[in-house]
A and B are shown apart, each in its own frame.
Chain A
């Protein structure tokens, strides 16, 4: 076999020479244009997980409540009553950095399809977003576009967006992160897997017509030379249409309910190629696809374009031949396209036909599983590899007035509350419909987790999505463990017990030693934390190569959990509820400044985090959960960004009442006033309720420090020489300042 030419198509498509040779070996010949396009996509990092698959094998994926684990369109857990809750989070980072509105919108569209492909009706969306600092015009543009895009898609399709998080950090300036999560509800009997089955069954393409969306890089394979004005013909941005998806969703759910489908798979990255390939692989069969039968949006598309198009709002179904007319009738009713485009075979190959002519023919195994998996070559970097910028003085002046002293704890608290990563995200979540579907028992910002009633199963679920790239950058192992614990803590505040976890691993270039080390340590942390908490990983996503000219993003594992609770009405609010209630700190909270928001504002970020005591935090979660369910807690709020002072302020603002506390009991653990007020770390719950009730919780061997009481119109925190006294109204003004910051041109 002759060596590939210097600027060969396979290299332009991202395949290495060894990979190309492996393809030739597995095919027994050189691939033609169509086949090369198919391999280049299925063997890409995004589809093949070549640098992460070995690592992901470490994650615990089993549990008695797991109904579907990794490998299916989404994961699912049993919630009782014959019902299952399906959920998954996925990234759409790179498209969102190019066109934030459509990137975020199609990210939502894609994750919705993953969930209803299982037969689960989507009941909630959550999103985790990260941009550069808000001083940058680009970051404001990306934030605005992404929030609009998520709102546009979710609102139009009638699925409530009930939670999420937004962070602003310089390392995301060039590479924003848009991770979208969907939660769905299904009767277990109606659920369907992706595996194609039944030789002779029809393969039906449902939904929108196929155009040139997303072809981008593969356009190098075009048989015609690209002329000057032809750029417009090869868009890389996918355009989403939620109206189309709404019809597709109802159509699919009706077909599944009526038992018309053998299997169903959504078309996402790599379009028809990946769906057909993955369905065939899962089923141990082959699939033939005739491109002349695919409904096209543009007349002169080549076979390779049809096979790799990423046009949105399409699904692939396997249908018994005698049921095809019914399937077409349901699609007709819902005004969504449908075409029989192929068949299931016993060839073990994916064959692409153009009428009678075979234009592509590859073994399923080679396409889907033949890609080599790589080991990382991780090397721990020396010291802090990201920047630092002192902005505290400026932030204090802006939040507390030009005369304020940057050493005054009250002024620091205002600066932290006004810090965009900490501040209220109401500007964003008011652009999302959070009530459609009538299940939302806790709307955004009212409790630490979103709560959705599931009357069908006799109870409710709570959902939270969390991550902190900066702390993971300080210590990838400990930071990731903290993210998992944060999620569990949020669920505990709602009275929920975790059933399963999904995650999106957003990292830099895995071929470089530092990001490789970060990824390796983060996955180890994720595995250990899930193991210790007994929470299985039921699915997830990996997004690598998030690097710009300044270097990689913060290593950002985003984790999301779904938990169950018996009574949605019992989920505790985050805000203080009653004048005179006692306030306590519950849990093994041992705050420190490394990795904290204050440390960031001071420009003092560095490597190193004290590791959390997972066992003790887990025990505290259990105590809080039981106490919430028993009605002992009037409010519960976990301590995270900005530390205890911010948590107290948020609880006061949320409840509309002030507080008077003395943090000496916490200082007795050995923390300075500043660490006590603004230090961060796992295991802190700010709870309120009747004093005897709170104190009784300590009987479990759990630390409960009564700090003070709810009341007044100010936030008063006695902390020795670092005390704070801040009018509630001022604290609220600072905490709600994101709106003004974003809308200023």
Chain B
């Protein structure tokens, strides 16, 4: 499995993502100006503050040459994983439904939270963001849920930002593009936290086989 991790000016977690991807394949950084993804099988758009979160988080990054290539990969059914700022970029790019807004308590929050995935399994993963409140119009939310596009929810009582219907991560209709606010790349090493994040990367790598 060959992973490509995008890097924008202002990305923060790209090296952490690179390391996490490397645990289930080979991984390399892809500079935002590259139009050619270099034959990677899957792309990760990492967390951080691409372009300083100027205008809106992810609003500028989504126009980069690398994102054009990512859109093509996604249209071809290739796996794309957007983490935190990456999730914001994917929503701005229209590759995922909805938008991420300011946390309802208006503060950045860094905290270990429990998530529930679409199989009902629990994962312990850290969140760290100031603009992670998932929102979409009610009709869109109904559609997303009906089509099984909700990939992760915050466990009851653990919603850190006021996200609609406790949604922490969503997929596109085709199921190959996944975005989530929590950081699985920070849950791959028992020394620094839980290892539940490995499952997220392994699931994508496994689906590839």
Contacts and interface: CB of A to CB of B under 8 A. Distances in A.
B51 A243 contact: yes
A431 B108 CA distance: 5
Given A430-B111, A431-B107, A241 B52 contact: yes
Given A244-B52, A334-B9, A439-B192, 5 more contacts: A155-B49, A432-B110, A435-B183, A436-B128, A453-B191
28 contacts: A155-B108, A156-B12, A158-B13, A158-B49, A242-B49, A243-B54, A244-B52, A334-B9, A335-B9, A429-B110, A430-B107, A430-B110, A431-B108, A431-B110, A433-B108, A434-B110, A435-B126, A435-B128, A436-B12, A436-B13, A436-B16, A436-B186, A438-B15, A438-B16, A438-B19, A438-B186, A439-B192, A568-B191
B10 A243 contact: yes
Contacts of B49: 155-156, 158, 242-243, 246
Nearest to A437: B16
B193 interface: yes
A151 interface: yes
Nearest to A436: B12
Contacts of B185: 438
A714 interface: no
| Interface of A: prevailing SS | mixed
A242 B110 contact: no
Contacts of A431: 107-110
Given A156-B52, A243-B52, A246-B10, A435 B107 contact: no
Contact of A156 (B10, B19, B186): B10
Contacts of B12: 155-158, 433, 436
Nearest to A431: B108
B82 interface: no
Nearest to A452: B192
A246 B12 CA distance: 9
Contacts of A432: 108, 110
A354 interface: no
B17 to A, nearest CB: 10
A433 B10 contact: no
B84 to A, nearest CB: 10
A651 B203 CA distance: 39
Contacts of B130: 155
A64 to B, nearest CB: 29
A569 B189 CA distance: 11
A441 interface: yes
Interface in A227-246: 241-244, 246
B200 to A, nearest CB: 16
Contacts of A569: 190-191
B8 to A, nearest CB: 10
B108 A151 contact: yes
B4 interface: no
B48 interface: yes
B86 to A, nearest CB: 14
Interface string A273-289: 00000000000000000
Contacts of B192: 435, 438-441, 453
B65 to A, nearest CB: 15
Contacts of A157: 12
B113 to A, nearest CB: 11
Contacts of A334: 9
A558 B27 CA distance: 43
A441 B191 contact: yes
A148 B10 CA distance: 19
Nearest to A244: B52
B32 to A, nearest CB: 11
Interface in B37-57: 48-49, 51-54
Interface of B: 9-13, 15-16, 19, 48-49, 51-54, 107-111, 126, 128, 130, 183, 185-186, 189-193
A247 interface: yes
A453 B192 CA distance: 9
Contacts of A158: 11-13, 48-49
B180 to A, nearest CB: 16
Given A151-B108, A432-B110, A435-B128, A242 B52 contact: yes
Contacts of B52: 156, 241-244
A603 B109 CA distance: 37
Nearest to A567: B191
A476 B49 CA distance: 44
Interface in A149-173: 151-152, 155-158
Contacts of B128: 155, 433, 435-436
A384 B189 CA distance: 52
A441 B15 CA distance: 17
Interface in A197-251: 241-244, 246-247
Contacts of B108: 151-152, 155, 431-433
B185 to A, nearest CB: 8
Contacts of A152: 108
Nearest to B187: A435
Nearest to B51: A243
A435 B191 contact: no
Contacts of A155: 12, 49, 108, 128, 130
A243 B48 CA distance: 10
B188 to A, nearest CB: 8
Contacts of A435: 110, 126, 128, 183, 186, 192-193
Given A243-B10, A335-B9, A438-B186, A433 B48 contact: no
Interface in A115-155: 148, 151-152, 155
Contacts of A429: 110
Contacts of B183: 435
B46 to A, nearest CB: 10
A241 B49 CA distance: 12
A614 to B, nearest CB: 34
A241 B53 CA distance: 12
Nearest to B33: A333
B157 to A, nearest CB: 16
A431 B127 CA distance: 11
A608 B109 CA distance: 42
A455 to B, nearest CB: 10
A433 B15 CA distance: 15
Nearest to A455: B191
A569 B192 CA distance: 9
A473 B44 CA distance: 54
A241 to B, nearest CB: 7
Q: Which 9 A/B pairs are nearest by Cβ-Cβ distance?
A: A158-B12, A243-B52, A433-B128, A156-B49, A438-B16, A435-B186, A431-B108, A433-B110, A151-B108
Contact of B109 (A246, A247, A430, A438): A430
A337 B190 CA distance: 41
Interface in A423-453: 429-441, 453
Contacts of A440: 192
Contacts of B193: 435
Given A242-B52, A440-B192, A247 B9 contact: yes
Nearest to A569: B191
B9 A438 contact: no
B163 to A, nearest CB: 17
Nearest to A435: B186
A440 B193 CA distance: 9
Nearest to B7: A250
A411 B45 CA distance: 52
Contacts of B9: 243, 246-247, 334-335
Contacts of B19: 438
Interface in A52-109: none
A568 B189 CA distance: 12
A438 B13 CA distance: 9
Nearest to A334: B9
Contacts of A151: 108
B42 to A, nearest CB: 20
A714 B90 CA distance: 49
Contacts of A335: 9
Contacts of A433: 12, 108, 110, 128
A339 to B, nearest CB: 20
